[in-house]
């Protein structure tokens, strides 16, 4: 692997469902679970790990939107505030 990953699959340690932080070449990135987040606008990388697909964006870029079906699930589970 070419970078340092922070967080663990399933938990990710970010406080946001389906998101975790990674570092590569001294740069920080956020990885968003493609099954929970919309495809980002602009430049991004697709990462396949932990049996999932993630969209990887620099930390400074705005996060992609949550997919409607994920939003409904979070509201149903009482996690939407």
Note whether residue 81 is domain-resident: no
Residue 34: inside a domain = yes
In 1-81, where do the E strands start and end? 3-6, 19-24, 27-33, 45-49, 52-58
Average pLDDT over residues 18-33: 91
User: pTM (2 decimals)?
Assistant: 0.70
29 assigned to some structural domain: yes
Tell me how many domains the chain contains.
1
Task: State pLDDT tens for residues 43-78.
Answer: 899 999 989 999 999 999 988 888 876 655 555 665
Range of the domain at 7: 3-76
Roughly how many angstroms between the first and final C-alpha of the chain, as a whole number?
A: 36
What does the pLDDT look like over 2-11, one tens digit per residue? 455 544 444 4
Measured distance CA(47)–CA(54) in Å, rounded: 5
Place of tokens 């009482």: 78
Q: Quick one: pLDDT at residue 8?
A: 45
Share of the chain above pLDDT 90, in %: 35
């Amino acid at each position: 692997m070419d970078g340092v990953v922070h967080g663990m699959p399933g938990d990710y340690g970010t406080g946001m469902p389906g998101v975790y932080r990674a570092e590569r070449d001294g740069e920080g990135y956020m990885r968003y679970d493609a099954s929970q987040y919309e495809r980002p606008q602009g430049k991004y990388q697709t990462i396949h790990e932990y049996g999932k697909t993630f969209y990887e964006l620099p930390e400074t870029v705005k996060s992609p939107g949550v997919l409607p079906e994920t939003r409904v699930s979070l509201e149903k589970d009482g996690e939407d505030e």
